[in-house]
Structure 1
Amino acid sequence: MSGTTLTDWLRSRDDEALAAVLRARPDLATPRPADTAVLATRATTRASVARAAEGLDTFTLAVLDALLAAGADQAPVPVADLTARLGATPAQVAAAVERMRSLALAWGPDDAVALPPAAREAAGPAAALGRPKPDLDGVDVPGLLAGLPEDERKVLDALAGSRPVGRTRDAAEVLPLERARTPIQRLLARGLLTRVDAETVELPAQVGAALRGTLAGGSAVSAEEPALRTTHRKVALVDSTAGGAALELVRRTEALIRLWSAEPAPVLKSGGLGVRDVKRVAKATELPENEAVLLVEVAVAASLVADSESASSPEWVPTQHADLWLAGGPANRWSTLAAAWLDLPRLPGLGGLRDAKDKILAPLSDDLRRPIAPVERLRVLDVLAALPPGTAVTDPDDVAALLAWRAPRRGGRLRDEVVRWALAEATTLGVVALGALSGPGRVLVAEGAAAAAKRMTDALPEPVDHVLVQADLTVVAPGPLEPHLAALIDEVADVESAGSATVYRVSETSIRRALDAGRSAADLHELFKTRSKTPVPQSLEYLVDDVARRHGRLRGGSTTSFLRCDDPALIAEVLANPVAAGAQLRRIAPTVLVSPLPLLEILDDLRAAGFAPVAEGTDGEVVDLRAAGRRVQAPARALRRAVARTPGPEQLLDMVQAMRAGDRAADSRRGRAVSARPSGAAGTADTLALLQEAARAGRRVWIGLVDAHGVASQRVVAPTRVGGGILEGTDPDSDDLRRFPLHRITSAALVEEG
């Protein structure tokens, strides 16, 4: 049965269908195909066919195998022949064939469907089929398979799941069924195996296709994707839970920045972050180690942390971009982290695992890099996005099974693990909550980070302007605090537990920290009095006054450094302490000590010895000498957004129009022709003369072009004006005016009319 070629079939499709092919198979659009013949050639290459087949679902792959078994890569076959082989309805098979047509993997009408020759080669060992056996044409092969003994079925399943050719000594001769003793001999006698030689058997294509249409247990491959077990959650509950997770993510990222500002983590010689530093991050952020790995990976991806790239001792250091991030609101800070995770070309879930050589895969190292990760992550979220808002998936394995059915050839050995990791990470980031895609997460996937930040603002609880001071010296924030109040509370208290209500602990150390920053006892009393909705306990007032009474009695300055005190007895006590020798202190007055060491170093030594000194400025006021933390410049490559390479709808339609023009040019009958010569001038003059002649005579011309990217194409135009380095002409079919630079025209020919 003869059929149409792929080129002719593509030419017969409408513009929208061709644009859909280019959209579904973007490798065909780069560089721009000059005409449909070029498009057809690219679409039938082994690499392109294999890439397109990776996106086929399980049932469509079974249909592809059945077409190959019927020899559709050699001659067109009718779709009706596949129904009995697959045990599916005609509508299901027709839908699968139409899916392949939409990808240009198959073409032709239902009574003559063809496949490219590369389909068999690109299918790989698991989809390879043996040669058809004429004796099995028209035979109910699935019926024969249904009654086979278990040992014979195992042999056929093994050949169907790998290469269709096997080596065996049982193929020495084909015996009658009553004399056959081994499974191989019985299968040869039944005609379900083909003897190649004395030691080789082959699985016939008809048997292989029938086996591919059934699972190992004998049940038919479902034409319907697996169902998800779901439950319904209140949308408000999902969003509020996501908001809580977002606040926790932001808080822990702040803790990471503070940790590495004060004490950056070293970069391993092989790249990445060491086990000890992962444990240190986990302890500082109160996270399990696997979530700590996710935190550092996202922080680096968001350009909040970077490798200092020091020649001697490189370290992971917060960037200047971290300061801008810290100044933003919670919703904007969350959206920065969530967008970085969504585009992260790495698998944080691999961190801490071991490879095939028992080597630990270090976080932030190249071992975790997987360029396909963002695509797989988005596939998982798309499953949840297709569900109504508030619909939660009860079991992550259901999502893994669904995606495995949709694309069984994708993902490799970590396919199901990637799905579980993606869902767990999305939950940690607040993109998913309670098993459902949150409102901000849905907007993030559909519209991007900026819109997601606005949506997260609605999901976050309203900031509160008060706290609840308890008698046990704890301060409870009943919600997220206003930024200014949060900064004040962070200064005077330490976080004890976080959640929807954050609990802070006030201690002597935290009060001293606030006093070191320049706050007075009166400032702290005023803070608690005006911002607490509960009475301030006397124990807290006494603690503040007691610490303040002892705080700052020693005053330091620079001589390089000096210490002064109104109490000579305290000066004498300092000089008598062993710390005085290490700090090289000497008395220059009854109330003044000086040292050649930096003041900050002396103050740290005195505090460690139990004293409570402070630094003072030239005006006698307390100053804060604490380091703000190290910073490095954020890498420009990290801040640069990825540019989408998939052509847009207008670009695709423009490609289709250019291909149509190329088809018309290829079909035109050409007369007198000229082409540019290597020397340039004479050829250009000849081309110009021919174009001017065509413009005067009102004749159409065929022109060959090379665009700025070096891609050749051809068109037929009706020249209207030639001059100024430009050819102006109309498209014969659409009458659209086109302009072509003369230096891009490589050849031209008059079109013979009639």
Structure 2
Amino acid sequence: MPNSDNASTGSLADWLRSVTDDALTDLLHARRDLATPPPTSSTVLATRAGTPGSIARACEDLDTVTLAVYEAMLVVHADADPTSRDRLVELAGLEPADIDAALDRLRARALAWGDDEAIRVPPAARDVFGAHPAGLGNPAPDLPDFDLDELSDAERALLTTLAPGPPVGRTRDAGIHVPLSSARTPAQKLLARGLLVRRDSETVELPLQIGLALRGGHIHAPGTLAPPRLDTHPHAPATVDETAAGEAMEFIRHTEALLTLWSGQPPPVLKAGGLGVRELRRLTRELDVDEPRAVLIAELVVGAGLVADDQNTTPEWVPTTLTDSWLASTPDARWTLLAQTWLDLPRLPGLAGHRDAKDKPIAPLADELRRPLAPVARRRTLAALADLPPGTGVHSADDLTATLAWRAPRRGGRLRDEMVRWTMAEAAAIGAIALGAVTTATRALLDDDRPRAGQAMADAMPDPVDKVLVQADLTVVAPGPLEPELATEILAVADVESAGHATVYRITEHTVRRALDTGRTAAELHALFSQRSATPVPQALTYLIDDVARRHGRLRGGVAGSFLRCDDESLLAEVVRTPAATELELRQIAPTVLVSPLPLADVLDTLRDAGFAPAAEGPDGRIMDLTRARGRRTPARSRTAPRPAPDQATVDPGQLRAIVAHIRAGDRAATTRKGTTVRLPSGGGGADTALTLALLSQATREQREVWIGFVDAHGTARQRVVTPARVGGGVLESTENERYPLHRITSVALVEDA
């Protein structure tokens, strides 16, 4: 706080000189733009703090009540003449304690200064809040005495319309000058009474005095600035964690499905960048998800470096070499990477599909989705939930949106409320929140503790199960996440029919044949179900496996281009007679062997479409898997850590204290009484240089303070008051262990005793 009357009634620079070093450090921490580059004095700091841009940034962190008090100071023109705390209490419509708390916050940010009897604000604040702060007009100096009760209903209705703000309106009557006796319309009568002020031929303004009277004498009606109610409901933290873990596992499954799909059929990159509508629809169809979820998954796999533009002549979105290590990692590790990527993603997936400035829909993965401040909005939303007791969730996203809007109404821009809703929806989708509450894992991520986040998610995920339930309708139910080896075996012989906390698989003739194609035998499939099923194996499944196995592999193909061999000559003759034989250019080279110039995979697919069941054969004669290839991969791009947004950047307290010391030194140098100043010529040398060295040597012997002007390493002129400890070797060393090269010193003078 100021410690002098002059600071209370003077300029912002005077007030900054009077505050403590700790208060100045707190100011630089709250308004980080003021510290870059370090100001040379309180005058420079005050000038920087009083610019419209800096004031606007500082106001982004203020809540509705504090902004209302700030607007009240502008209403009473504290930017021109100081006002008092009592005047604000009288006008603001707030409790005195709220006024005091708001003034403390404003002073701490140098948005206002002075004691309670003489509070000022920077003139540029009016540029930030506009010509009509709080929606009130300018005072009318010649306003006559008025009684609103004497007005007609129509006149009062017109004033009431302008009272909430803005206080200006357009009317053709503004250009008509008539006495009250000749006035016909409400606007003409109010202009004649002086209760409206004519601004131009089409615009009128409601004077400040009338606006206040219509608001009951207060700038803000009592109770209108109270924070909105945030309805919450408690849950056991373990319930929240387990519910979120279920969503996380489902999100991981969908991510795996996307990587598998794009490994085999990478979608093209649009000419303008991004993912096309047709490919997005294919993705939603294959993953069986809605578009927002598909967009989110696509954005995260690219953001995490699992998918990248392969940058070929016809570029495609191709999984990178990081995909294989991600697929091989544990579920909690996979989730941690996706969740951290989402938290720091400088993009807005929710904006996909919206119209750009040219009224064209914005494509997923397009550059138009980039928003560097998106991570700030996500962390702010999750931090608000994390401030609640563990397990406590909000009733709805709209409630949280209203609360955050009250806490910082000037932050976020036009997408402020939408970003809160998108954050809530995306966080629920990836398992970062559940039941409206943040999870233990998410709290750890907000603390930048990834190992603890991964462990918390691992603890919340259900233990893998080693048994399945085989049903008579040839479905397989997994009552929880399967052990990795069992999951691989089941996926080889069955397709996922539905997923959730319990996954349902469907076994068909096609899936059994697919398992046999991978080299598994009928005996191995029987053993799998007999050993891993907690229920008796249905007879229908046994018959299905045996029936498919009996027909499978009788016809075998190899590489010639490719070849087909079969011990049954009649079956091979049947193949030769089909139209497929002509299409495949099959040629018989032996009674039991056919060859084709086409790739083996094409030959097998065509014969399967013709009703046959061939299998692939390796060089050793054993069945080999042509379907297990992992798909295409592109080299992983080197990922640079995202630059923290201003709200997230850590500040070194020691660095801030050094900047404060720098400011204080500049203040001292600017206000020090100097004797005769000796200026060094450019490049040094001559009598002035000798005189300067002699003066510095004298100050060293007598331990007297000297004022020096110098140019720093950035070419900026500086001033300092120092006590020389040693002069020599082209350097002036001070008793504070600071070094000043003599060739950078431009002027020097002894400090005179007061």
TM-score (norm 2): 0.89
What is residue 466 of structure 1 aligned with on the other side? 467
Contact 1:238 1:390 in 2 (8 A): yes
Task: Evaluate the alpha carbon distance shift between residue 635 and residue 652 of structure 1 in structure 2; reply closer, same or farther with a 3 A threshold.
Answer: same
Task: Evaluate the alpha carbon distance shift between residue 269 and residue 38 of structure 1 in structure 2; reply closer, same or farther with a 3 A threshold.
Answer: same
Contact 2:712 2:744 in 1 (8 A): no
Task: Evaluate the alpha carbon distance shift between residue 508 and residue 179 of structure 1 in structure 2; reply closer, same or farther with a 3 A threshold.
Answer: same
2:210 aligned with 1:204, yes or no? Answer: no
Distance, in Å, in 1 between the alignment partners of 2:203 and 2:670 is 50
Per-residue deviation at 1:72? 0.5
SS at match of 1:496: strand
Task: Evaluate the alpha carbon distance shift between residue 574 and residue 388 of structure 1 in structure 2; reply closer, same or farther with a 3 A threshold.
Answer: same
2:96 aligned with 1:90, yes or no? Answer: yes
Distance, in Å, in 1 between the alignment partners of 2:549 and 2:217 is 80
- For structure 2, the residue ranges without an aligned partner over 5 or more in a row are 1-5
What is residue 197 of structure 2 aligned with on the other side? 194
What is residue 576 of structure 1 aligned with on the other side? 577
SS at match of 2:725: strand
Match of residue 68, structure 2, among 62, 66, 70: 62
CA deviation map 1:17-54 (0-9, x unaligned): 22222222222121122222221111001111122223
Structure 1 window deviating more from structure 2 (490-499 vs 438-447): it is 438-447
Per-residue deviation at 1:115? 0.7
Q: How do residues 504-543 of structure 1 correspond to structure 2 at under 5 angstroms?
A: 504-543=505-544
Per-residue deviation at 1:752? 1.1
Equivalent residue letter for 2:704: R
Per-residue deviation at 1:250? 0.6
What is residue 704 of structure 2 aligned with on the other side? 699
Per-residue deviation at 1:159? 7.4
Structure 1 window deviating more from structure 2 (713-722 vs 606-615): it is 713-722
CA deviation map 1:653-687 (0-9, x unaligned): 33223222322233333446566765578899997
Structure 1 window deviating more from structure 2 (279-288 vs 120-129): it is 120-129
Q: How do residues 142-291 of structure 1 correspond to structure 2 at under 5 angstroms?
A: 149=153, 151-152=155-156, 154-155=158-159, 157-158=161-162, 161-162=165-166, 164=168, 168-170=172-174, 172-173=176-177, 175=179, 181-188=184-191, 191-195=194-198, 201-207=204-210, 219-220=221-222, 222-291=224-293
Distance, in Å, in 2 between the alignment partners of 1:558 and 1:439 is 55
What is residue 308 of structure 1 aligned with on the other side? 310
Distance, in Å, in 2 between the alignment partners of 1:147 and 1:415 is 42
Say how many residue pairs are matched: 741
Distance, in Å, in 1 between the alignment partners of 2:717 and 2:215 is 43
Task: Evaluate the alpha carbon distance shift between residue 564 and residue 198 of structure 1 in structure 2; reply closer, same or farther with a 3 A threshold.
Answer: closer
Per-residue deviation at 1:477? 1.5
Structure 1 window deviating more from structure 2 (683-692 vs 518-527): it is 683-692
2:661 aligned with 1:661, yes or no? Answer: no
Distance, in Å, in 1 between the alignment partners of 2:143 and 2:345 is 52
Distance, in Å, in 1 between the alignment partners of 2:209 and 2:378 is 38
Contact 1:396 1:420 in 2 (8 A): yes
Structure 1 window deviating more from structure 2 (525-534 vs 682-691): it is 682-691
Structure 1 window deviating more from structure 2 (125-134 vs 230-239): it is 125-134
Task: Evaluate the alpha carbon distance shift between residue 661 and residue 582 of structure 1 in structure 2; reply closer, same or farther with a 3 A threshold.
Answer: same
Contact 1:86 1:210 in 2 (8 A): no
Q: How do residues 418-457 of structure 1 correspond to structure 2 at under 5 angstroms?
A: 418-457=419-458
Per-residue deviation at 1:130? 4.5
Equivalent residue letter for 1:659: I
Match of residue 32, structure 1, among 28, 38, 44: 38
SS at match of 2:447: helix
Structure 1 window deviating more from structure 2 (743-752 vs 84-93): it is 743-752
Distance, in Å, in 2 between the alignment partners of 1:16 and 1:219 is 37
2:546 aligned with 1:545, yes or no? Answer: yes
Task: Evaluate the alpha carbon distance shift between residue 285 and residue 696 of structure 1 in structure 2; reply closer, same or farther with a 3 A threshold.
Answer: farther
Equivalent residue letter for 1:462: D
Distance, in Å, in 1 between the alignment partners of 2:598 and 2:120 is 86
What is residue 734 of structure 1 aligned with on the other side? none
Task: Evaluate the alpha carbon distance shift between residue 159 and residue 629 of structure 1 in structure 2; reply closer, same or farther with a 3 A threshold.
Answer: farther
What is residue 410 of structure 2 aligned with on the other side? 409
SS at match of 1:503: strand
2:743 aligned with 1:747, yes or no? Answer: no
Distance, in Å, in 2 between the alignment partners of 1:686 and 1:472 is 105
What is residue 295 of structure 1 aligned with on the other side? 297
Contact 2:584 2:596 in 1 (8 A): yes
Contact 1:726 1:739 in 2 (8 A): no
Distance, in Å, in 2 between the alignment partners of 1:465 and 1:347 is 40
Contact 2:346 2:371 in 1 (8 A): yes
Structure 1 window deviating more from structure 2 (540-549 vs 666-675): it is 666-675
What is residue 735 of structure 1 aligned with on the other side? none
Contact 1:66 1:210 in 2 (8 A): no
What is residue 371 of structure 2 aligned with on the other side? 370
Equivalent residue letter for 1:224: A
Per-residue deviation at 1:723? 5.5
Distance, in Å, in 1 between the alignment partners of 2:149 and 2:437 is 43
Task: Evaluate the alpha carbon distance shift between residue 572 and residue 287 of structure 1 in structure 2; reply closer, same or farther with a 3 A threshold.
Answer: same
Distance, in Å, in 2 between the alignment partners of 1:458 and 1:146 is 73
Distance, in Å, in 2 between the alignment partners of 1:214 and 1:488 is 77
What is residue 487 of structure 1 aligned with on the other side? 488
Task: Evaluate the alpha carbon distance shift between residue 136 and residue 13 of structure 1 in structure 2; reply closer, same or farther with a 3 A threshold.
Answer: farther
Distance, in Å, in 1 between the alignment partners of 2:150 and 2:477 is 70
SS at match of 1:574: helix
Distance, in Å, in 2 between the alignment partners of 1:145 and 1:234 is 58
Task: Evaluate the alpha carbon distance shift between residue 383 and residue 530 of structure 1 in structure 2; reply closer, same or farther with a 3 A threshold.
Answer: same
Distance, in Å, in 2 between the alignment partners of 1:148 and 1:259 is 73
Distance, in Å, in 1 between the alignment partners of 2:217 and 2:497 is 58
Structure 1 window deviating more from structure 2 (720-729 vs 545-554): it is 720-729
Task: Evaluate the alpha carbon distance shift between residue 36 and residue 475 of structure 1 in structure 2; reply closer, same or farther with a 3 A threshold.
Answer: same
CA deviation map 1:404-441 (0-9, x unaligned): 22222334444333322221111111111111122222
Task: Evaluate the alpha carbon distance shift between residue 654 and residue 570 of structure 1 in structure 2; reply closer, same or farther with a 3 A threshold.
Answer: farther
Q: Percent same amino acid at aligned positions?
A: 54
Distance, in Å, in 2 between the alignment partners of 1:147 and 1:429 is 61
Contact 1:35 1:661 in 2 (8 A): yes
Per-residue deviation at 1:329? 1.3
Task: Evaluate the alpha carbon distance shift between residue 720 and residue 317 of structure 1 in structure 2; reply closer, same or farther with a 3 A threshold.
Answer: same
CA deviation map 1:498-548 (0-9, x unaligned): 111111122222222223223233332332233222233333233223323
